[in-house]
Structure 1
């Protein structure tokens, strides 16, 4: 059965609003909620970037049923992996076992703020691999000393461990990242409905003797509105950064850079890649590419902070009914 989630997009809403949306999304019937973890919005027009972990702590207490994910946290530059392990364990306790730690190799947009040089993709993946190994060691509750190529840990131990161990989901985009992270992770995160990528992940895990249920968690932007022209304009204003693809998105350091890189993206270009307007069937058609590619979980991003209340009140329930009927 495909599960459908709601995205707490920290780039487009403030912390109190995000908690309120989380409560409304649970009431609307979403199965899980994912939170981005940004220091910057993608574009200045989005206007927000609160600290995701504080928001998730509040959401954990304000909700009862929905599963929670970071989507995704980079545990290599802005955060040391030992600190990520500590806050993940704490959040799992607050969430009563509903939390999954989603990890990725990060974007320059968020990581440059600590003044470190932005590494190449090969080095970023090597750093993420070592970070996951450290986090796994600390999740055992044992005293950890580590001196690796990128990180050191000096006599660290997690004193508050959850009864339900924290699962790790890792974001990948190609063959090399699948080879590296499938053996280290419990679940897969990807933002494109790539059937070959999903198949390669499962094959890699089987080849290393790993068993158990693997969740494949995707994400898709939508821009629901009663009026299609309004939806297209909003998607273009706040989500045209999406047109660059992740090879570009990972490397640009500022909102000004994203604004410049997308200055020639037209509203109709955005509308071709993001379902916009009141047509729920069009949204279902776009999301269907994910479950057809083998994704078990799909999180929706409703574009525009100002549109969340109306979307959750008016569209979310009927949309979830259509999605579940089509997928299952």
Structure 2
């Protein structure tokens, strides 16, 4: 199991994210995920630096591979611009870049198109967007008019030697089918062995990567306090994360989440065995890599803790 670090642009500003990336490499993490948000999930998180600026900055302070987790290339930004941004990022990172994509959330997209499409339409848009991105990465002049996107005599001049891989996020069965059809890999968040095995069976064993969050702190109670204060949205069920349109709506819905339920779902504190058990849960589900984010103010302490007491024990 490869273990990487997850840079949360919703919670940390640019300087903190750069410091985390540098520290993660020094601690021995295998790679970086970085979230791509226009809004945070709630005002308490309070950040949303532009992911493509952050990737450029990170490329100058460490040599770890970077994956967006995940970019929505369908509404907020035209897929041709995502193709250009990803190509530049891949070149800056010496080819160590993966474009993680998904159908997105109304939270980040509705400000640019209030009519949030149904899931079937979003999946259709994502498939068309990924095809256009890959065509542009050939370096050819592209003129195309699809159902959702059009380009006229478009060409990307700054390209890496090898096009980036594209990993696709999926939660439901239809999205999983699409991920297996168009993705070089799968991105998930749940240690669900059925999801992972289904993807790998349909996708000839292509890799599956996951993300999770922990709340490192001197005590478990303090960690749970940070998780409950900052990330109660993580406890919301079903498709709410895809359809709620504003941080205010997430704050209202998160009133249904209790501190007790946060305790049941979040690994907190500084016991290495708890963190190793979480990693093993994802390994047992069949994931090839797990990227861990920290919740709360002890982010650099968490990275050092993992480097000293957790990563050396990961099989």
Note the C-alpha offset of 1:197.
1.5
Note the C-alpha offset of 1:313.
2.9
Residues 126-162 of structure 1 show CA distances to partners (whole Å, capped at 9, x for unaligned) of: 1101100101111111111111111111111111110
Work out whether residues 187 and 208 of structure 2, in 8 Å CA contact, stay in contact via their aligned partners in 1: yes
Note the C-alpha offset of 1:312.
2.1
Candidates 65, 76, 80, aligned match of 1:67: 65
Q: For 1:54, what is the secondary structure of its paired residue?
A: helix
Matching residue of 1:210? none
2: CA distance, partners of 1:166 / 1:315: 29
Mapping for residues 109-188 of structure 1, pairs under 5 Å = 109-188=107-186
Candidates 257, 276, 288, aligned match of 1:284: 276
1: CA distance, partners of 2:96 / 2:237: 31
Residues 226-285 of structure 1 show CA distances to partners (whole Å, capped at 9, x for unaligned) of: 112111111100111001135111111111111110113221210100111122211221
Note the C-alpha offset of 1:194.
1.6
Note the C-alpha offset of 1:319.
1.6
Note the C-alpha offset of 1:175.
2.0
The answer as to 2:228 corresponding to 1:236 is: yes
Matching residue of 1:58? 57
1: CA distance, partners of 2:264 / 2:234: 12
Matching residue of 1:93? 91
Note the C-alpha offset of 1:297.
0.6
1: CA distance, partners of 2:308 / 2:127: 39
2: CA distance, partners of 1:195 / 1:73: 24
Work out whether residues 77 and 116 of structure 1, in 8 Å CA contact, stay in contact via their aligned partners in 2: no
Matching residue of 1:224? 216
Work out whether residues 76 and 131 of structure 1, in 8 Å CA contact, stay in contact via their aligned partners in 2: yes
Aligned residues: 315
2: CA distance, partners of 1:195 / 1:42: 27
Matching residue of 1:318? 309
Work out whether residues 179 and 185 of structure 2, in 8 Å CA contact, stay in contact via their aligned partners in 1: no
Work out whether residues 216 and 299 of structure 2, in 8 Å CA contact, stay in contact via their aligned partners in 1: no
Note the C-alpha offset of 1:174.
2.3
Matching residue of 1:42? 41
Work out whether residues 39 and 51 of structure 1, in 8 Å CA contact, stay in contact via their aligned partners in 2: yes
Gaps of 5+ in 2: none
Work out whether residues 194 and 293 of structure 1, in 8 Å CA contact, stay in contact via their aligned partners in 2: yes
2: CA distance, partners of 1:200 / 1:96: 32
2: CA distance, partners of 1:298 / 1:54: 24
1: CA distance, partners of 2:304 / 2:133: 39
Work out whether residues 77 and 111 of structure 1, in 8 Å CA contact, stay in contact via their aligned partners in 2: yes
Q: For 2:255, what is the secondary structure of its paired residue?
A: coil
User: CA distance change for structure 1 residues 94 and 308 in 2, over 3 Å: closer, same or farther?
Assistant: same
Matching residue of 1:204? 202
With normalisation by structure 1, the TM-score equals 0.93
2: CA distance, partners of 1:5 / 1:168: 18
Note the C-alpha offset of 1:55.
0.5
Matching residue of 2:76? 78
Matching residue of 2:286? 294
2: CA distance, partners of 1:204 / 1:313: 38
Please give the root-mean-square deviation of Cα atoms over the aligned residues, in Å: 1.3
Work out whether residues 232 and 268 of structure 1, in 8 Å CA contact, stay in contact via their aligned partners in 2: no
Work out whether residues 4 and 298 of structure 1, in 8 Å CA contact, stay in contact via their aligned partners in 2: yes
Q: For 1:102, what is the secondary structure of its paired residue?
A: strand
2: CA distance, partners of 1:47 / 1:156: 37
2: CA distance, partners of 1:110 / 1:239: 17
Moved over 6 A (4+): none
Q: For 1:44, what is the secondary structure of its paired residue?
A: coil
